[in-house]
Amino acid sequence: MIALVQRVSEARVVVDGRAVGAIGSGLLVLVCAQPADTEAVADKLVDKLLKLRIFSDEAGKMNRSVVDVRGGLLVVSQFTLAADLASGNRPGFSGAAPPAQGRALYERVLATARARHPQVEAGVFGADMKIHLVNDGPVTIPMLVAP
């Protein structure tokens, strides 16, 4: 799975003019499933997200996780993370999982995250979403979790 993780002081997802998910301080996570991904890979992604130490401790060092700071997770599906620009300027998306598999793995990420963390919000799979965020730092980390 591919994820783009942003440490935020606040973030929200809007669909059709209505906020469907919002958090204060925490992580905005854009997620893309790939064809070889499995439920085990989705679970591994959640493990890494919850342990990722990108929040500051008392000394100002990135040493705390979203769990440590009691932050929120806002998880949004984004197949465009698999964009391939090798053959021109128009991206191809064959590196993304087919929609049914992508939806199932996205829902697995959400279910696993909700079972392990008290504050998990989400976007709407396949919807035209508007994401509003205040990137804190800025801190943006690309992640690749392989099967």
Judged on CB neighbours under 10 Å (0-12, 13-18, 19+), 75 is buried
Domain residues for the domain of 116 are 2-144
Q: For residue 147, what pLDDT is reported?
A: 83
Kindly report, residue by residue over 49-71, the tens digit of the pLDDT.
999 999 999 999 999 999 999 99
Select which of 55, 80, 93, 112 is catalytic: 80
Catalytic residue status for 55? no
For the segment 86-116, what is each residue's pLDDT rounded down to a tens digit?
998 999 999 999 999 999 999 999 999 999 9
Query: N- to C-terminal Cα distance for the chain?
Result: 8
Provide the domain count of the chain.
1
Q: Write the CATH number for 85.
A: 3.50.80.10
Given the residues 6, 34, 55, 79, the one annotated as active site: 79
Q: Is 78 one of the annotated active-site residues of the chain?
A: yes
